[in-house]
């Protein structure tokens, strides 16, 4: 349904053409479309020709690559020390991984790397970095009242940090395991 609002009719048409029973919220959405209360989104601008599948490809790729490279950057000093290299070299390596992934995703969807790095896709990058910081125990995801918004784990921040450090080490050892279609 979200894809329909972005201007893509295909997912909704596939749902209707298939024999899958529709949930109540889909029936309600279709009623709004038929009544004219919901209309097809405008597909103007530089990213207007991207299909929902291409947008999902960009979103997933950015989330994966930026989350794991951010984990490496969070533990930069420790990982650089373990690898016996200056932190700047490790930082440059992560920047290169990000640039290469951006170029591969751009080629996969037929756009230039600068286009897909801009909004609205920049939001996916921020989300991935925020999630990496959560996993690293830097902060918790809470609302204003202090209640956990996403109770995803019973681990303490220190336990999450230890697990995230192991993920960062594994990513450094073999980045292709995390996103094989994006790695060289």
How many other β-carbons are positioned within 10 Å of the β-carbon of residue 162? 13
The model carries a pTM of: 0.68
Contact predicate 129/67, CB 8 Å? yes
Q: Domain residue spans in the chain?
A: 2-35, 52-177
Tens-digit pLDDT profile for residues 21-49: 877 777 777 777 777 777 656 555 554 56
Tens-digit pLDDT profile for residues 76-130: 999 999 999 999 999 999 999 888 888 888 888 888 888 777 756 677 788 888 8
How is 80-140 classified by DSSP, letter by letter?
A: HHHHTS-HHHHHHHHHHHHHHHHHHHHHHHTS-HHHHHSTTTHHHHHHHHHHHHHHTTS--
Query: What is the pLDDT confidence band of residue 8, given thresholds at 50, 70 and 90?
Result: low
CA angle 123, 124, 130 (to 5 degrees): 90
- Chain centre to alpha carbon of residue 13: 26
């Amino acid at each position: 349904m979200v894809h329909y609002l972005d201007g893509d009719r295909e997912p909704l048409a596939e749902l209707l053409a298939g024999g899958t029973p529709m949930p109540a919220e889909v029936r309600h959405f279709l009623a709004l479309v038929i009544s004219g209360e919901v209309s097809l989104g405008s597909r103007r601008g530089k990213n207007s020709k991207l299909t929902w599948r291409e947008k999902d490809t960009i979103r997933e790729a950015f989330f994966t690559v930026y989350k794991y490279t951010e984990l490496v950057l969070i533990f930069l000093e420790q990982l650089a020390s373990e690898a016996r290299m200056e932190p700047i070299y490790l930082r440059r390596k992560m920047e290169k991984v990000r640039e290469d992934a951006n170029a591969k995703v751009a080629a996969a969807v037929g756009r230039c790397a600068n286009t897909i790095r801009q909004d609205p896709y920049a939001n996916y990058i921020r989300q991935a970095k925020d999630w990496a910081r959560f996993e690293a125990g830097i902060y918790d995801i809470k609302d204003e009242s202090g209640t956990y918004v996403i109770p995803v784990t019973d681990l303490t921040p220190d336990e999450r940090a230890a697990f995230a450090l192991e993920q960062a080490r594994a990513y450094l050892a073999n980045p292709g395991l995390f996103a094989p279609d994006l790695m060289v």
